[in-house]
Each structure stands twice: as C-alpha cells, then as structure tokens.
A and B are shown apart, each in its own frame.
Chain A
Amino acid sequence: MFKKALHFTVFLALLSGLAGGALAYVNSITAPIINENAIAAEKVNLVKLFPGTSEFAPLEITNDETGFIQSAYTAKDAGIAYKVQVMGYANPIVFMVGISNDGKIVGLEILDLRDTAGIGTRVEDPEFKDNVVGKTTTDPLAALSGATVTSGAVIRGINAAKAHFNDSKGIDGGGSDDPVTPPLAFGDPVGIFSNATASAPAEILEETTDGDVITYLVASKGYAVLEGGYEGAKPNVFKIVINTAEKKVVSMELVEFNDTTGLGDKIDHEDFWAQFEGLATDDDSIEIDVVSGATVTAISAARALRGAIGE
C-alpha cells in the first residue's frame, strides 16, 4: 500500500520535473522575444520621451498602490518611462511620462484621450505640458482650471509615477498625491457700485440679524439668465455676512450656483472670496477683480454685494 503511494508520488514528481524543465527551457527562448515585442510596440513613444536613448528594458512595477501604472521601461542611463492609465471625465486616459535619473519630469505623451474637446483635451496643449515638464519629482503639480477633472486625473497618474520613482530612488516626495488647486486667473477690476452692477439689481431673499452681524441671502442674476438664455435659468444665490458696526464685509460665499459648470464656478475659489473680506460697506469705490473666463458670474457676485449693502 505504502509502496504504491510512493511509486505514484515518484512517478508524478519525475513527470512534473521533466515538464518543469521543458517549460523553463522554452521560456528561456521565448521570454526575451516577448519582451522585445513589447518594447518594439512602445518604442515609438519611448523615444519621444528619451530622444537620446535607444536601449530600453521593461521594468517590473511591484509597489504601485494606485494601480495606475500599466508598465514601465528603463531608458539606459537616462531615466524611467511610465505608461499610466487613469479615469478621465468619462473615458480612460492613457499617457506616458518620462522621469530622468536626476528626478526631473522630462516628457509627457498623451496616448489615448477621449474627453471633452476644448476642455479635457487641453491636457494635450503645450500650456499643460509646460506646467509639468521640467518639474522635479518633489514639486507639486497644479491642475488646469476649467479642466480640473481631466487634468487632475492626469496629474494623479503622474504623481503615481513620481511616487514609484521616488520610492525606488529613496527620495521623500512629501505632500499628497492630489493636484494642488491652481491659482485663480484674475481679470479686470469692477466697482461694486459701478455701471456694470447697475442693471439687473440683485434681490435679497433672506436677512438674518444677530447683533451687529447681518447675514444676507441674495439672488443675483448671472450668465444663465442674462446672456445664456438657458431654459429655466435661475440666478445665483450668495450668502453675504456684513458687520454693521464695523461697516465691513465679513465673508461671502456661493450658496447656489446656476451658471455654466466648469466656467462660471471658477469664482468659487478662496482667492476670489478673499477679495470681499474686509471691504468697507460705506465706501463707494470698493471694487473686486473678476475672474478671467467667468466675468459675468463674477459680476453677479459684485451685484449681489451691491444689493446687500443697499444704495
């Protein structure tokens, strides 16, 4: 009985050993060819990232927590190229980013992008590339305002590549993996009591008094009502807090936004609201800067303040 079991085990072990040997042999022949094929397919893009190099070898990625990195290649004596896939606004985005051995982002090639033309596709513009290429692996990257979903996704992918790079070189990248909010692009100043805010006066919806502090809820017509002519267009609603004793604006924020998403809501940025804080309510000359690309919505905010302060 035992002899039989031994016989079986030996037979199977022998057979498996032979099988393993045959597999190892074939693997040693085919594996290099398979690698070559993979590289050849990518080579066009690899050369774009590292133009001086011609020797590339695939690099196995083992510690990518994000799962964004699809594959990577080391460019001999030059750096590492990562092929990254992230989820964009509606479709996956595939791109390659090259990081040189001295920790600089040297190239960005978008391979597959199907997001909104004119908005998401701005990541293919030189403006975005210039934002990214040249930065080191410890610099934070800013998203594109107005294309935050797509550019944010790409940056998160680049950050994943950076994290792997830093990890493998022992550099402490620091900071989070999310893109930083880009600074607001301000436009021209508009006076709160100027002609621009004279038309379409805002409407105070609610007024709450708490000692010297009055909180106003003001509806002010924005782009949707005045220019867009959207069906069912509604005004934007702002919450304005004024200290009547100090005669100063305490704070301002957007409560209900009804203008164009991705354009008008650019004003909902801490830098924009910061302009309102401390404005003197008894001064006729107070003004704020509009946000470029969201002028009408910004003016609706100014109009709201005018309505709250009163004539």
Chain B
Amino acid sequence: MNKLDNFKAGFIKENPVFALYLGLCSVLAISTTLNNAVGMGVAVIIVLTVSNVIISAIRKVTPSEIRIPVYIVVIATLVKIVEMLIQAYATDLYGTLGIFIPLIVVNCIILGRAEAFASKNNMLDSLIDGIGMGLGYTFGLIILSAIRQILATGILNFSNPFTSEMMFEVRLIPADYVISLFSTPAGAFLTFAMIAGALEAYKSKASKKVKEVK
C-alpha cells in the first residue's frame, strides 16, 4: 500500500475506534462535548506521533525481549509531559478530561502501533502512521462527541482551550427536544453501536460491490 492509502485507511476502513475497537475507554468517557474530543484527540496525536518516531529511532538498539517495557517507558514519559503541559496551559481542558489524560498510556492504539508498525519501519513512515492513526482516532472521537452533544444538549460549541473564550456556538435542536439520554453512559454505548454498525454496513456494501465487479 502506498503512503496515501495507508493514511486514508486510518480514517475509515481501519478506523482505530469504530473498526478496530481500540482505545475505547477514553473514547466513550470523553465524548460528551466537541471541546473534549478535540483536546483529547490532539493529545493522542502528539503522543502517538512522537512515540512512534522515538520507538522507530531506537528500534535497532532495543533488545527484543524487553521491548514492551521500553515502549511503556517512552509512552508514559510522553503522556506525563503532555499532562503537565495541559495542566499548566489549558486548565479547563485538564478539569474536564481529568484522569483520562494519564490513561492515554494504556490506550491500546499507541502501544499497538508501536508494536505493529513503529518497531519495524523507519522514522518517516512511523511519523506518517502516527499522524494518520491519530487523526483517524480524533475523527472518530469528534463524530461521536458531536452527535452526543447535539442530541443531548441541542447545541454545538467550541471554546479555545488556552483562553477559555467561546469560538462558536450554534443551537441545532430546540431545548425542549433534547434527549438527555445521550449524555449518560447508556447513550454513549448506544451511539457508538450505531456508528460502528453503520460503518460495518458501509464496509460490507463496499466489499460486495468489489466482489460484483470481479
């Protein structure tokens, strides 16, 4: 697969969240507002990309037997650094994401990509893979959060995490018609199921078309 296909796969066909079911814990918990989704997504992209690059860089000198602890140390360090930066410079985001920032360490996506890709490819490819997968994750997270936020509160808004000023706010559903179920855990599971089901339907239709053409 060429680089572009690789990149595109991370978005839809091999979307880490809805197709591969990785990193679910934070996805479901965070996806209540667009702000959370973007904040978490960016954090994951940074950690994933930098860890991919570092692990790729040291792949030749890392003894295979201890590679998992090595990956863990790298990823944990990066996550902690990101956490400290968020706590200092984007305090509101720190408040809403809370304990899920350190939980990025055990986000299967990052460890998974380190093991499956970064340890076997050069730094540039690993960089692109990290960005691609990270964007796919963020994309999935944004879709889930937007749907939940709109259905549960009726408004979609976004505020600058560094200055806390609202950048846009639009009401899409009148306040009387919101379904607050979607801000609950049950709603999160349900929305996720719908999107995953839709993706699966799309994928099987697409592969059916391919089969018919053949």
Contact = CB atoms under 8 A, between A and B. Distances in A.
In-complex A–B contact (CB below 8 Å): yes
A19 interface: yes
B59 interface: no
Contacts of B204: none
A248 B139 CA distance: 87
Contacts of B70: 11-12, 15
Interface string A6-17: 011001100110
A19 B73 contact: yes
Interface stretch (A21-29, A123-131, A193-201): A21-29
DSSP majority for the A interface? helix
A192 to B, nearest CB: 62
Contacts of B66: 8, 11-12
B206 interface: no
Interface string B125-154: 000000000000000000000000000000
A212 B191 CA distance: 82
B66 to A, nearest CB: 5
Given A8-B63, A12-B69, A30 B74 contact: no
Contact of A37 (B69, B74, B85, B91): B91
A23 B65 contact: no
B77 interface: yes
A30 B66 CA distance: 32
A214 to B, nearest CB: 66
A26 B62 contact: no
Contacts of A205: none
A16 B74 CA distance: 9
B81 A22 contact: yes
B84 A27 contact: yes
Interface in B78-134: 80-81, 84-85, 87-89, 91
Contact of B73 (A4, A16, A34): A16
Interface string B141-179: 000000000000000000000000000000000000000
Interface residues on B, range: 10 to 19
A15 B73 contact: yes
Given A11-B70, A12-B69, A19-B73, A30 B63 contact: no
A12 B69 CA distance: 8
A226 interface: no
A230 B74 CA distance: 70
Interface centre among B61, B76, B77, B80 (most CB of A within 10 A): B77
Contacts of A180: none
Interface in B32-81: 61-63, 65-66, 69-70, 73-74, 76-77, 80-81
A131 to B, nearest CB: 35
B87 A8 contact: no
A4 B62 CA distance: 12
Contacts of B77: 19, 22-23
Contact of A19 (B61, B74, B87): B74
Contact of B85 (A4, A11, A30): A30
Contact of A26 (B65, B74, B76, B81): B81
A241 B134 CA distance: 83
A29 B61 CA distance: 31
A111 interface: no
A33 B88 contact: yes
Contacts of A37: 88, 91
Contacts of A4: 63, 65
A12 B73 contact: yes
Contacts of B87: 30, 34
A11 B62 contact: yes
10 cross-chain pairs, A with B, having the tightest CB-CB distances, nearest first: A30-B88, A33-B88, A19-B77, A30-B84, A26-B81, A8-B66, A34-B88, A37-B91, A34-B87, A26-B84
8 contacts: A4-B65, A7-B63, A12-B69, A26-B81, A30-B84, A33-B89, A34-B84, A34-B88
Given A12-B69, A12-B70, 6 more contacts: A11-B66, A12-B73, A15-B74, A19-B76, A30-B85, A30-B87
